[in-house]
C-alpha cells in the first residue's frame, strides 16, 4: 500500500448528501477481476442511461482533471458494506475524501485501501465546496502527519484520525503486512503452545 503523508491536489466538489455505496459502485457492474474499477465510480452521476457523458457532471469539467481529492457531503459512503466502492474511488485516482460524515464500514474500508477519509464540520466542508466551485482547478493540501487540511484560500482546518489507522496509512502498512512483521513472535508462541499444551497442537483423534 502506498504511504500517505502529504497530498496537494486539485479537488472536486460534490454537494450531494447520502451518497451510498451502491451509487459509488453500482451493483449491476458485478465484481470483474483484472479491470480498472475507476470506470464504475459514481457512474450514474457521470453518464446517462445510454452511456454518454452527462454535460452537467462536474467530473467532466477539464479544470478538475487529475483531481485526487473529493470534497463530498454528509453521510458519504453509507449503505451496504461494499468494499468495491472504495476500489472505484481509488482506481479513479482519489486518495482523500473530505466530508462532514461517512458510513462506518466505508470508513474502515478506506483505511484498508490507502484512502484517507477526512471529517470536518459541515459548515467548513460546505465553504470548501463553494470555494472549489468558484475557482475550478484550485488545489487543497492535506497533511496527515499534522492532521491538517489547508484550503485554496489558505485556511487551515485540523481533523482527527485514529492513531493506529494514521500510523498504518502514514507508513503504507496494511493488516497483512503488519501481521507479517510479527512472524517470528507468532512462530515462537506456537512452538511454546505446542510444548506447554500438546493436546491443543495435536488433539486426540485428529
* Residue 193: domain span: 174-206
Residue 72 and residue 23 share a domain = yes
Residue 99 parent element (H or E): strand 96-99
Please say whether the beta carbons of 115 and 106 come within 8 A: no
- Across the chain, mean pLDDT equals 93
Residue 48: is it exposed, middle or buried by C-beta count within 10 angstroms (0-12/13-18/19+)? exposed
Give the whole-angstrom CA distance, residue 183 versus residue 196: 20
Give the whole-angstrom CA distance, residue 54 versus residue 45: 7
Question: Tell me, what's the pLDDT at 199?
Answer: 74
Residue 113 lies in a domain: yes
Residue 98 lies in a domain: yes
Residue 202 and residue 137 share a domain = no
> Residues 65-77: pLDDT tens digits?
999 999 999 999 9
Measure CA 189 to chain center: 35
Residue 118 and residue 183 share a domain = no
Residue 166 lies in a domain: no
Residue 16 and residue 42 share a domain = yes
Residue 169 lies in a domain: no
The cell numbers describing 72, all together, are 463530498
Confidence of residue 201 (pLDDT cuts 50, 70, 90): low
Q: Is the pTM of this model over 0.85?
A: yes
State how many domains the chain has: 2
Give the whole-angstrom CA distance, residue 38 versus residue 70: 14
Confidence of residue 166 (pLDDT cuts 50, 70, 90): very high
Residue 140 and residue 200 share a domain = no
Residue 47 lies in a domain: yes
> Residues 122-144: pLDDT tens digits?
999 999 999 999 999 999 999 99
Residue 121 and residue 65 share a domain = yes
The cell numbers describing 162, all together, are 485514529
Please say whether the beta carbons of 159 and 146 come within 8 A: no
Integer Rg of the chain from CA: 21
Residue 63 lies in a domain: yes
Residue 92 and residue 192 share a domain = no
Residue 168 lies in a domain: no
Question: Tell me, what's the pLDDT at 205?
Answer: 56
Amino acid at each position: 500500500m502506498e504511504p500517505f503523508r502529504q497530498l496537494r491536489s486539485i479537488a472536486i466538489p460534490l454537494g450531494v448528501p447520502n451518497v451510498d455505496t451502491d451509487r459509488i459502485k453500482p451493483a449491476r457492474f458485478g465484481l470483474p477481476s483484472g479491470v480498472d474499477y475507476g470506470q464504475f465510480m459514481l457512474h450514474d452521476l457521470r453518464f446517462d442511461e445510454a452511456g454518454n457523458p452527462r454535460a452537467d457532471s462536474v467530473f467532466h469539467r477539464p479544470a478538475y482533471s487529475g483531481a485526487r481529492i473529493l470534497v463530498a457531503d454528509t453521510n458519504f459512503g453509507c449503505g451496504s458494506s461494499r468494499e468495491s466502492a472504495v476500489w472505484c474511488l481509488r482506481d479513479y485516482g482519489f486518495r482523500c475524501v473530505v466530508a462532514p460524515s461517512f458510513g462506518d464500514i466505508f470508513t474502515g474500508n478506506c483505511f484498508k485501501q490507502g484512502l484517507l477519509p477526512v471529517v470536518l464540520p459541515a459548515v467548513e466542508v460546505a465553504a470548501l465546496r463553494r470555494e472549489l466551485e468558484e475557482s475550478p482547478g484550485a488545489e487543497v493540501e492535506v497533511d496527515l502527519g499534522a492532521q491538517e487540511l489547508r484550503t485554496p484560500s489558505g485556511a487551515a482546518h485540523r481533523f482527527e484520525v485514529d492513531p493506529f489507522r494514521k500510523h498504518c496509512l502514514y507508513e503504507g502498512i496494511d493488516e497483512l503486512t503488519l501481521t507479517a512483521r510479527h512472524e517470528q513472535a507468532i512462530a515462537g508462541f506456537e512452538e511454546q503452545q505446542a510444548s506447554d499444551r500438546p493436546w491443543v497442537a495435536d488433539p486426540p483423534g485428529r
